[in-house]
Structure 1
Amino acid sequence: MLLIGVLVALTAAAAVGAWLAWQGSTGGSGNTATLPILTAPTGPDKRRPDEPGGLTVPHQDKLVYDRLIPGTPTRPVEQLLPAPETPVERPRPPEPQAAPQVAAANPPASPPPSATLPGSVMPPPAAAPAQPATVNPLPPPGVLPAPVTPPTVVTQAVSAAPAPVPAPGSQQVAAASPAAAPAPGGWRVQLASVGEWNRAQSEWTRIQRRAAPLLDGMSPVVVEVKLERGTFWRIQAAPLTDREAAAGLCGKLKAQSLDCLVVAP
């Protein structure tokens, strides 16, 4: 069996070799086709046609050709918008100059109605020196943001020391002393309190514009108050005839979401 298999394999190999030899001899003598070679065309890829047809537009691209000519002067560019503004430093408001101080004593505290009667004998005033009230002018009108009535400034100092009690049995006529500088007007309505002098005028202008019908014909009064936590300037509107008028104005201001406080004379 092994010998038969070897003979079959040799016979098959001989047959394949004979077939290959025959194919080689017949293929070499036949005609072979030449393979084509692809090459890129010569010349430009696109070319304007001699007769493009369509609508004929005269002087087409004339402006572009003029710009490409060397030596042609360039036309100035038209400026449509105005030139930018040059920044200017804002003027600083001048420092307020202190006016001559007016020496005046603080007004005595109002006693209860039942304590004293008109014409009764009063004890002498306290011997402690009273702090003078200072009236400061406003800055020049040119610095103010709006032409409004300049406020009157009244300086008040808060004293924490209580007045001494007079000795019993002593009845003397109160000594004549200079009265304190009264605030302009009678009853007033306080509108705001600021911590800087320069903000007093601008705050009054803002409130006056917001409540213009209610504050027409009224003048601002700026009261300077020195407290332990600092100095404050209270902005008040005056004059008002009585407490009812001040309370009525304050109620109308609160209806417009504005804070206010009635101030007695």
Structure 2
Amino acid sequence: MVADDDPTPADQDGPEDDTIVPDPTDAIEFEPIERTSPKRTGLIVFLALLVLGGGAGAAWYYKDTLLKGADMDEFPIIRAVEGPVKVRPENPGGMNIPDRDKLVYDRMKGATKAPRLERLLPPAETPLAP
């Protein structure tokens, strides 16, 4: 038997204990969201594109004027410095390096004679007399 004072009737869905769960939207206070009007958004996009286009145009203009130069009738000529590039010092100094008399250094300088060619194939056959 179900009493009339029973707070949870059998046909009601919910928790079986006596606690009532409040709605979460009632517990939190929300601030209203202010959305910008579509006209203002369009104006911001237009101004951003205008600034980007102006910057690109200014960069293009300065690139052409600065890289090309004011006078393009005469090309600049780059000349080498007069005199030798390297000069041997009067007192070379330096340190004594051991093992400078090794054969590998002669090979690097090209002071050795050409190596003898090896013959890997057998000698050609001699023809038989008829």
Q: Normalised by the size of structure 1, how large is the TM-score?
A: 0.13
> Which structure features the higher share of helix residues?
2
Higher relative contact order (CA 8 A, sep 6+): 1
- Which has the greater radius of gyration? 1
Structure with the largest fraction of strand: 1
Q: What's the TM-score once normalised by structure 2's chain length?
A: 0.21
